[in-house]
Amino acid sequence: MASKQAPHERRKGEAALSDFAEYVERQQALRYPNKAAQSQTATTSAAAGPNSTLSSKIAPEVEHHAELDDILDSLNLSEPGPRIRLRDLLLSAPDDDASLQKLADIVGERLDEGHGESVFDIGFENHGESLKLTKEDWEVAYKRLSQAAAQIDADCQLLLTKNLGGDLDGTPTRDGDVSGKVMIRRRPSAAEEVIETRIAVVGNVDAGKSSMLGVLVKGDLDDGRGRARVNLFRHKHEIETGRTSSVGMEIMGFDSHGQTILSDTPGRKLSWEEIGKRSAKVITFTDLAGHERYLRTTVFGLLSSSPNYCLLMVAANNGLIGMSKEHLGIALALNVPIMVVITKIDICPPNILEQTITQITRILKSPGARKIPIFIKNHEECINTATQFVSQRICPIFQVSNVTGENLSLVRSFLNILPHHGRYDADAPFEFHVNDTFSVPHVGTVVSGIVKSGVIHAGDEVYLGPDGLGKFTTTAIRSIERKRIGVPAASAGQSASFALKRVKRKDVRKGMVVLSKTESGPPKVYREFIAEVLILSHATTIKTKYQAMLHVGPVSQTCAIIDVDRPFIRTGDRATVAFRFVQRPEYLVPGDRLLFREGRTKGLGIVKSVGYDPERPLGGVNVGEGGDKVAAGVEDVKHEGGGNEVKVGA
């Protein structure tokens, strides 16, 4: 049996995690470049080639900082011509149509950048200088902004004011200038224009994940015995035990005015179609299992749903225990921004709650996480933190009760103005990852998942694969649905379901991809690939022939290590490793993030290149017979790490 990891080894793994996460983020920027950096990245990528190691050398030059971009944009350094001051546009005469049109153009640009929504600061120029507004000026400016938003089919919601007075007024400033934050959101003309944000909900068993989602979605409070969560369960045994064992999905809608979409009848849960048709923004919650027995399902849900954010639930009376630490580590490894919700504060003694808060603060500030915990206790803190949440260093923490409803309004406000986060390229070739398959009567085979890049329309011909032999089949998109509403197209970053023509359900599995049809034919897939990995925890050493369960997006398959660039690797080590899929080849692209685990062993990495040439080993020594033995897929391989036998497909 593997010995428990020593504290100093665990600390070594934690310290290496944050450095590796930054490296992964740079590689992701190469795969999904921002528009501003696209031309520069394209030039460097062309010089390097897809499988070249040069990409790792040039990565620091194209390192991207969202906050730095925002600062440079606000300073207007890139614009040679003079800009019209915002004050002049906001306080222009009521009959000045030219100024109103210019203001509408500025608002439209911001909505395009924010994927359909933006928080507008009335009271400050773009570069941060105060407009020195009085209360009378403010009324004129807010009315003018609302008129400009209406011109481009958008609505305004007042979030926070300063020195104005009223329910939404925050802490007054010394200068007495009136200012405020306004959420501007487009009214979608069709279902495909609805803004979508995906949040993975994780935490230990009995932390209250399903109960809180039930309360948020239905609007009713819990009775303390789990009434709110019953509608979220998918299986009979989940209702009986109260424990989630599958990947559950729930949606919560907000209209263009920022109001939550709820049923007029108390206790009634709206259907997805009703929410989708009435919403301008939809939050998709992926409710993941908290029990250790279902860790594989939880890891699959975390990687396959491509979450924009991660919501970690912690029970106030239990603290950060069991699988919640595991889930937090996976979220950190995936570079997903994290928010924490402490539940059950109504039944928790104050001293135990204090211990839980101290523990969470200590873990978030540790070298492995390097987060700044911000406890949100009022409306002003909620608005300010949500608008700054593009910074991955911030970790907002809420303390709520699903029974009394305490602070739930803060969580709803936070979710409403949560900015869009994620890298997606709508101009790249179409790529869709299959997370689930269904057989629908009178429709046929349906696949659901995430559009990673590009745009697809109903009727388009596509490739589906790879099958067990690595082959792709040609099919066509019969119809497309988003949140159970039929749409004509789906684009990068959206979750969607496709009905496929001429395909049987038994021929489709999780982990397959749907790709746009090209003249060059379907891509070649490989059984082997090379990745840069970091070992987060392992009791002894890892060498070739070691096998573990590997997760890459929706792909979950046993992999064997066939080559390493050094004799062995331990906890905290970074290495270049060649893997071989044991069962079948898979579609991978350089830049894909991966996670592998086996028992207490955990590691993460990023794909550097696909394919492997035994004539050019990573460590400079031929792999020889051992690698071929693993390639044959022997069922029982004694690995040098822990000495345990690993069954293929376990």
- 363 is written with which tokens? 């873990």
Distances (CA, A) of 228 to 110, 210, 268: 38, 8, 11
Nearest to 135 by CA among 126, 122, 125: 122
Q: H or E element: which one contains 320?
A: none
Q: What are phi and psi of 419, to 5 degrees?
A: -70, 155
> pTM for the whole thing?
0.80
Q: What is the mean pLDDT of residues 267-271?
A: 76
Nearest to 73 by CA among 427, 390, 337: 390
Q: What are phi and psi of 297, to 5 degrees?
A: -65, -40
Nearest to 196 by CA among 288, 302, 272, 110: 272
Kindly report which listed range (65-79, 90-104, 182-196, 266-280) carries the lowest average pLDDT score: 65-79
Length of the chain: 650
Q: Is the pLDDT of residue 626 over 60?
A: no
| Number of Cβ within a 10 Å radius of residue 625 | 8
Nearest to 470 by CA among 579, 583, 584: 584
Split at pLDDT 50, 70, 90, the class of 82 is very low
- Range among 59-68, 419-428, 497-506, 618-627 rated most confident: 497-506
- 562 is written with which tokens? 């066939």
- Report the alpha-carbon distance of residue 227 to residue 467 in Å, rounded: 43
- Report the alpha-carbon distance of residue 213 to residue 222 in Å, rounded: 10
pLDDT at 622: 53
Crossing angle of the two packed helices 408-416 and 209-218, in degrees rounded to 10? 70
Q: Is the pLDDT of residue 20 over 70?
A: yes
Give bridge partners of residue 278 from the DSSP assignment: none
Please name the residues in contact with 176: beta carbons below 8 A apart, sequence gap of 6 or more: 163
pLDDT at 209: 77
Q: What is the CA radius of gyration of the chain?
A: 26
Residue with tokens 């925890």: 537
- 98 is written with which tokens? 């030219």
pLDDT at 212: 84
Kindly report which listed range (29-33, 129-133, 237-241, 572-576) carries the lowest average pLDDT score: 237-241
Q: Is the pLDDT of residue 22 over 70?
A: yes
Q: What is the mean pLDDT of residues 46-56?
A: 37
Looking at residue 260, the DSSP 8-state letter turns out to be B
Q: What is the mean pLDDT of residues 56-69?
A: 46
Instruction: Check: CB of residue 436 under 8 Å from CB of residue 460.
Output: no
pLDDT at 52: 38
Complete DSSP assignment for 602-648 = EEEEEEEEE---TTS-TTSS--THHHHHHHTT-SEEE-TTT--EEET
Domains parsed from the chain with CATH numbers: 85-184 (no CATH), 193-415 (3.40.50.300), 429-514 (2.40.30.10), 526-608 (2.40.30.10)
Per residue in 424-471, pLDDT (tens digit) is: 788 889 999 999 999 999 999 999 999 999 999 999 999 999 999 999
- 106 is written with which tokens? 């500025």
% of the chain beyond a pLDDT of 70? 79
Distances (CA, A) of 529 to 144, 167, 361, 563, 591: 57, 58, 39, 10, 12
Per residue in 145-193, pLDDT (tens digit) is: 999 999 999 999 999 999 888 888 988 888 889 999 999 999 998 888 8
Would you call the peptide bond into 466 cis, given omega within 30 degrees of 0 as the criterion?
yes
Q: Is the pLDDT of residue 312 over 80?
A: yes
